[in-house]
Amino acid sequence: MRVVLDTNVLVSALKSDMGASFALISRLPSEKFQIALSVPLYLEYQDVLTRDENMSGGSTQKEIFGFLRYLCSISYKQDVFFLWRPFLKDPKDDMILEAAVASNSKYIVTHNLKDFRGVERFGIDAIKPADFLKKLKETNNEYING
């Protein structure tokens, strides 16, 4: 299954190794899900993750770019040919929705569910990282018990 990660999930994962965002990123690459990525979303990741306020104490800009290159190498690269703007309040969130729609992603993984109200019209669920991890575990249990 394909998913699109909101930038805030990557920021959280890089700032702390204690949360669901880090646990999710640590599972990559995964046989259960694949991240869908568009060029605009990749550029957004680069911009936000290399801002001074988002750099973790132990990470350098070079390491962040290396992480993003790795993420790109294991992601499903999706061209976006149709824009759904304006649909959400924030145009940067529209970019995430467009990548999700174009890639037939099932989920947008985000810490800001309210920012993605209405995406279910596209057959997409906005879900928090911890809840997505629970779904992955449930899916694994279905395979084991089913």
Domains of the chain: 2-145 (3.40.50.1010)
Q: What is the pLDDT of residue 141?
A: 59
Stretch among 49-53, 56-60, 65-69, 94-98 having the lowest mean pLDDT? 56-60
107 secondary structure, DSSP code: E
> Of 43, 46, 33, nearest to 1 (Cα)?
33
Q: How far apart are CA 108 and CA 55, in angstroms?
A: 23
Average pLDDT, the chain: 90
Bridge partner list, 5: 109
Q: Please give the average per-residue pLDDT across 41-53, as a whole number.
A: 94
Query: Residue 3 in contact with residue 21, Cβ under 8 Å?
Result: no
